[in-house]
Chain A
């Protein structure tokens, strides 16, 4: 078997002081083959974004093992390790600096990593995501949500990473724009041989983008299945079945069946 692009073993993340820490991710293990797209789905608070932040190096308080291309990643990363793993965030309205031009936004990672040919790289990154040079000296507020998300993708791509972490990349966008961004991500993966780890609460998006899916609940990886299994409803856990049913739309009979009170708890 070839070395997985990303291998996560018994990853746990806790927040808070040691004597009463809250554990939000419990012993999660999965691996992603090179060129594969892997989806993590779950409802809010299940720990899916926390896993991404641990892998990206944004959160260093984790235990377990994370390996990229067979080499273990420490909680503190080297510059080169950061370069190979880039992240696209959920909200294109919050993730771009409002007072920086698109040019400055894209040039910043180049400056941090000391890469040459900044002009050419910025130009190519914009073209890659389907934005022309005309966008280069605009500010984020002059762009639509879909265009901003393209800039966010360009910023992640400009360092030529091997693994892209996508945190709900389309949940803030309208469906017609979502289709454009998903197509763009699909093209980039194919053309550049990228590996994706996609986090989403939308089962349809995950099944569309990914070959394999991990379903999370309350910090644990409940089950793993292929996108085809998910489409066919071949899932093991009752929770996944319910999640699937609820994603299809509203069904009064279904709503009745459920214990409507089981989610009621103090947040």
Chain B
């Protein structure tokens, strides 16, 4: 599929100055995201979340971000003013975080939170926002949107909370959705349901999705393409269906070290890290 890239990232670096010298969290990452599902996988500390945050300029103040190119549908995000970035965040790129327990406001009705996300980016009356919210909640397959609208976050289950988060992120109709471990806090059967909603919305709206995850199995079955990160670099990219035939020893090692239901083994192979991978 040759689609014009929605998001184009070239030579992205995120560095931190620490008392022990400079620490580079992301070191020269380049990739494009079109209207497709791209998986960004890696272990904790590999820089995958920092990459997602750098795109939205949500890195901590002491982080130094640089890139040769960082553009969304042709617009240079590096040159965007803070006000312009605020308009872009949510409206054109939005982000779903890991745990709905921490990303929803605990003292505000969930429906009002979704409506707020609409009102920030659209000039509309509260009545219209409410209607749009109820419609959006129905789209994320919440059966009784009117009842759910008036609930507080502590009154909804984890799976429903994550669907509300997705509704909140999609109501301004962004072009690109960055989902940072959106299903890690959920049970596997609920996870499938949340993914199915994302899947349908991506295909029906032509949304680009950057799916950040540590779960290789999940990414290989859910995404179209996979980028594997190690120590701040992308060490391998391939079609998700070909992840099983991955070539990089790190990817191979990660796949190997997973216990498998279909292939019992007395011992799990342990990943031996090669210092050369850092620069390969």
Q: Which residues of A contact B (CB under 8 A)?
A: 43-44, 145, 174-176, 178-180, 182-183, 186, 201-205, 207-209, 227, 230-231, 242-244, 246-252, 254-256, 258, 260-261, 263-267
4 nearest interchain CB pairs?
A249-B221, A255-B196, A208-B259, A179-B257
> In the assembled complex, which residues on chain A have CB atoms less than 8 Å from the CB atom of B188?
43, 201, 243, 246-247
How many chain B residues touch A (CB < 8 A): the figure is 46
Give the CA-CA distance A247 to B262 in the complex, in Å.
12
Task: Tell me the dominant secondary structure on chain A's binding face.
Answer: helix
- Complex alpha-carbon distance, A198 and B268, angstroms: 17
Pair B221/A251 contact, Cβ less than 8 Å: yes
Supply 12 further A-B pairs (C-beta < 8 A) apart from A43-B190, A175-B258, A231-B262: A145-B44, A174-B44, A175-B257, A183-B268, A186-B266, A207-B261, A208-B264, A244-B261, A248-B217, A260-B193, A264-B143, A264-B159
Whether A250 lies near B195 (C-beta < 8 A) is: yes
Nearest CB of B to A166, in Å: 14
Let me know if A204 and B260 touch, CB within 8 A: yes
Residues of chain A contacted by B192 (CB below 8 angstroms): 246, 250-251, 254-255, 258
Most chain B CB inside 10 Å of its own CB: which residue of A176, A182, A207, A247: A176
**Are A204 and B195 closer than 8 Å at their CB atoms?**
no
Chain A residue nearest in CB terms to B217: A249
CB closest residue in chain B, given A173:
B44
- How would residues 177 to 209 of chain B score, 1 for a CB under 8 Å from any chain A CB and 0 otherwise? 000000000011111110110010000000000
Choice from B154, B156, B222 contacting A249 with Cβ under 8 Å = B222
- Find chain A residues with CB under 8 A from B151 CB: 266
Q: Which residues of A contact B260 (CB under 8 A)?
A: 204
CB of A149 to closest CB in B, whole Å:
14
- Could you tell me the distance in whole angstroms from the C-beta of A211 to the nearest C-beta in chain B? 11
Task: List CB contacts (< 8 Å) of B137-186 with chain A.
Answer: 141-143, 151, 154-160
Tell me if A231 and B222 are in contact (CB < 8 A).
no
How far, in Å, is A176 (CB) from chain B's closest CB? 4
| CB < 8 Å neighbour of A176 from B189, B254, B259 | B254
Residues of B within 8 A of A (CB): 43-44, 141-143, 151, 154-160, 187-193, 195-196, 199, 214, 216-218, 220-222, 253-254, 257-262, 264-271
- List, sorted by A's number, 30 A–B pairs whose CB atoms are closer than 8 Å: A43-B188, A43-B189, A44-B187, A175-B258, A176-B253, A176-B254, A178-B257, A179-B269, A179-B270, A179-B271, A186-B266, A204-B260, A205-B259, A208-B268, A209-B259, A230-B261, A244-B261, A246-B189, A246-B192, A247-B188, A249-B221, A250-B195, A252-B199, A255-B195, A258-B192, A260-B193, A261-B141, A263-B159, A264-B159, A267-B158
Interface-centre pick from A254, A255, A261 (highest chain B CB count, 10 A): A255
Chain B residues near A247: list those with CB within 8 A.
188, 261
Given the known interface contacts A258-B193, A267-B157, the answer about A204 and B143 at a Cβ–Cβ threshold of 8 Å is no
A186 touches B220 (CB 8 A): no
Residue from B44, B158, B214, B222 within 8 A of A250 (CB atoms): B222
Give bound CA distance, A243 to B187, whole Å.
Answer: 9
| A267 neighbours in B (Cβ, 8 Å) | 154-158, 160
| Chain B residue with the shortest CB-CB distance to A253 | B196
Residues of B within 8 A of A209 (CB): 259
